[in-house]
Structure 1
């Protein structure tokens, strides 16, 4: 098992949630932290709650690196409106996120790899940058030559998530049109996300 795949399965128990709503998540059978002292209950400080919220959000989007995640926070603060809502919108505009949301692949980790390998077109042009910012009206499409990949079939059959209403998906042609930037309430997270705590963490 690769290091990334192993960490993907450990993160649920470490954070104490079924982060992606997976039926096979180890958290479903062992809803406590890993290790000898995983079942002990500890009082968590405000800082601890903020850190956990940040780790949960970073992990959900494929374990985004700290440097890049901070850049999303900084851009969210520069924009008008609610900073926590801005942060969610920026994360949902990531090309890898749109590929995952559209059920073109089964996991967010697979989405990043799928984009990296050049299997995705945006408005007819190949884009291989997972963090590419998708704009309203952009059409994201699986390369027609890659439509028969097993990974794509698994994504289409996945029951882990629902299609959000801010992305219009044509499952036959494997095309998705990004309609608008979502609010937190629009995003179909399988567990509670608290971007307001993430903002508090970075603004300390």
Structure 2
């Protein structure tokens, strides 16, 4: 299954935003990677700004170009503000929900847990990271996987930071109670720029 496998620090530095989690590289070198990172011209075209925002969203959620385009097309057909609906669709991906619940420390780790069949949705094992979780669905750690060190370590430091999530530690199960509103999504993404890019 295709996914980005390259260096994370370089991508975070390109956007000057720790999109993969806390990063010393961004604070130590607050400029783009490469030999021309410091000397790049500051003024960017409108298209470049829009493209950067789209790339940032793609890397943040671990989605490749075709998947992202399909999600945008799906969001544009739904009622509501297209940019907001797009972020809600990204937030509803199973790998993202596993990450938000605290079962995994990063989206990459969450994706691996899903692929290796450690996660169930409403009692059924699902190994598709892009699976769309509906509000009210119960996301749980598979019975055989509850003693996995990676999962127990992640849950030990989890904090219930999201109002649209519920978690039962005794059952190692949680749910997305509702689709989050835009103000509840903490990612630093300007979705309107993405809409403008695809609308050209």
Could you tell me the TM-score, scaled by structure 2's length?
A: 0.91
Given that 1:105 and 1:153 are in contact with CA atoms closer than 8 Å, whether structure 2 keeps it comes out as no
2:91 alignment partner in structure 1? 92
The separation in 1 between residues aligned to 2:20 and 2:84, in whole angstroms, is 20
RMSD: 1.8
2:66 alignment partner in structure 1? 67
The verdict on how the C-alpha distance between 1:4 and 1:55 changes in structure 2, with shifts beyond 3 A counting, is closer
The separation in 1 between residues aligned to 2:65 and 2:157, in whole angstroms, is 29
1:170 alignment partner in structure 2? 168
The separation in 2 between residues aligned to 1:171 and 1:30, in whole angstroms, is 39
**Local SS of the residue matching 1:140:** strand
The verdict on how the C-alpha distance between 1:202 and 1:104 changes in structure 2, with shifts beyond 3 A counting, is same
**Superposition deviation, residue 60 in structure 1:** 0.7
Structure 1 residues 1-204: aligned runs within 5 Å:
6-22=6-22, 24-40=23-39, 41-62=41-62, 64-158=63-157, 163-189=161-187, 192-204=188-200
Q: Count residues with an aligned counterpart.
A: 197
The separation in 2 between residues aligned to 1:14 and 1:157, in whole angstroms, is 32
**Superposition deviation, residue 5 in structure 1:** 5.7
**Local SS of the residue matching 1:121:** strand
Q: What are structure 1's unaligned runs of at least 5 residues?
A: none
The separation in 1 between residues aligned to 2:21 and 2:137, in whole angstroms, is 28
Given that 1:166 and 1:180 are in contact with CA atoms closer than 8 Å, whether structure 2 keeps it comes out as yes
**Local SS of the residue matching 2:192:** helix
Could you tell me the TM-score, scaled by structure 1's length?
A: 0.90
Question: Which 10-residue stretch deviates more, 192-201 or 161-170?
Answer: 161-170
Which digits, 9 at most, give the CA deviation of each residue in 1:149-187, with x for residues without a partner?
22213322457x863111111233221111111122111
The separation in 2 between residues aligned to 1:25 and 1:156, in whole angstroms, is 24
